[in-house]
Amino acid sequence: MKFNQYDIVLVNLDPTVGSEIKKTRPCVILSPYEMNRAIKTLIIAPMTSKSKEYPTRIKINDKSFIVLDQIKTIDKKRVIKYLNVLDKKSIKSVKNIIQEMLVD
């Protein structure tokens, strides 16, 4: 499977520990294609349908939030299937929030 940045894929996140997001759920791939092609892991942000509006969570429709405060690295073997690609407005929001969170 080819993994592109900002693809939405279904991922099995179990097992988890503590407050980590659990279950099989959609996730947004954050790592760039060049990195995804070269190594066996992906950097992802999980998605959820149950969230409050926090500064680190992006509401993409009435039922989905991207949870940028739960960014993690996973093995590609956890990916079950491709679902969709993130829209341009949401991509811009992801970039802005990641910059606020991680870059001075």
Q: What is the rounded average pLDDT for all residues in the chain?
A: 94
Domains and CATH numbers, the chain: 7-102 (2.30.30.110)
- How confident is the model over 39-63, as pLDDT tens digits? 999 999 999 998 777 889 999 988 8
Entry pTM: 0.93
Residues, the chain, total? 104
pLDDT of 20: 87
Q: What is the mean pLDDT of residues 76-91?
A: 97
Amino acid letter, 42: L
Element (H, E) at 89: helix 88-102
- Determine contact, residues 51/21, Cβ cutoff 8 Å: no
